[in-house]
Structure 1
């Protein structure tokens, strides 16, 4: 799968007609580019962010006021996350409108749906990390909405065992945001590209 993933990113040949702009605009590839940008910028942010209720917000203020390029780096990470979500949604709509989810691509459609849901959840977990007032209220609202869903109470207890913004809940959101969800996103992206090459319908020259 890793070999096919790399071949998809760096194909041995590209048809000339595939280099022209079309209505799809390579939405999936652009979304993956945003994901890599998020990983790179997030890795740099880890050098300054402190995942504790008392230090989280001051560490953001320090990053933006005292670190060279810190405000730009944080803005880049935030804007890349917005573009990532928009591009995945547009890519999903393109797949629906063109019927690309039909046989033999049903498995890849499910993988793509999982990527969309994980991308939304990744954005949600990252929203709490600055620990400002907006982040606290938005996360609290999301947790209350989750509580109204089936098994939502158990999920809420797992995510925020001691309340929104408390030490354990902030640490869980932090680990989910920087490790578990990104790992799942990159794994499913590799599987997604592997299935594209496996089906070969999208890339007739492979």
Structure 2
């Protein structure tokens, strides 16, 4: 799968007509580029962020006021996250409108939907990390909405066992945001590209 994934990123041949701009604008590839940018910028932010309730917000202030390029780096990470979600939504819409989810690409449609929901959840977990007032209110609202859903109470107790913004919940959101969800996104992205190459429907010369 890794070999096919690398071949998709660096194909041995590309048709000239596929290099021209079209209505799809290579939305999937652009979304993956944003994901790589998020991983890189997020990795640099880890050098200054402190995942504890008393230190989280001061560490963000320190990053933006005293670290060279810190404000730019955080803004880049935030902008890339918004762009990532927009591109995935547009890519999903394109797949629906063109019927690209039909046979033999049903499995890849399921993988793509999983990527979409994971991307939304990744953005949600990252929203709490600055620990400012807006982050706390927005996360609290999300948890209350989750609580009224079927099995939502059990999931809420897993995510926030001690209340929104408390030590344990912040740590769990932090681990989900920097490790578990990005790992799943990268793995599913590799599988997504692998299935594209195996189906050979979009790019038959692969």
Band of TM-score, shorter chain: over 0.9
1:50-97 per-position Cα deviation (integer Å, ceiling 9, x unaligned): 000000000000000000000000000000000000000000000000
Distance in 2 (alpha carbons) for counterparts of 1:180 and 1:58: 25
Q: Secondary structure at the match of 2:23?
A: coil
Distance in 2 (alpha carbons) for counterparts of 1:58 and 1:136: 15
1:122-141 per-position Cα deviation (integer Å, ceiling 9, x unaligned): 00000000000000000000
- Structure 1 runs (4+) greater than 2 angstroms displaced: none
Distance in 1 (alpha carbons) for counterparts of 2:127 and 2:104: 37
2:22 aligned with 1:26: no
Distance in 2 (alpha carbons) for counterparts of 1:14 and 1:103: 25
2:80 aligned with 1:80: yes
Distance in 2 (alpha carbons) for counterparts of 1:181 and 1:107: 20
Instruction: Report what 1:42 is aligned to.
Output: 42
Gaps of 5+ in 1: none
Distance in 2 (alpha carbons) for counterparts of 1:105 and 1:198: 10
Distance in 2 (alpha carbons) for counterparts of 1:90 and 1:148: 29
TM-score of the aligned structures, taking structure 1 as reference length? 1.00
Q: Secondary structure at the match of 1:130?
A: coil
Distance in 1 (alpha carbons) for counterparts of 2:69 and 2:188: 32
Distance in 2 (alpha carbons) for counterparts of 1:97 and 1:29: 18
2:120 aligned with 1:120: yes
Instruction: Report what 1:17 is aligned to.
Output: 17
Gaps of 5+ in 2: none
Q: Secondary structure at the match of 1:88?
A: helix
Matched residues, number:
206
Aligned-pair CA distance for 1:204? 1.1
TM-score of the aligned structures, taking structure 2 as reference length? 1.00
Instruction: Report what 1:137 is aligned to.
Output: 137
Q: Secondary structure at the match of 1:63?
A: helix
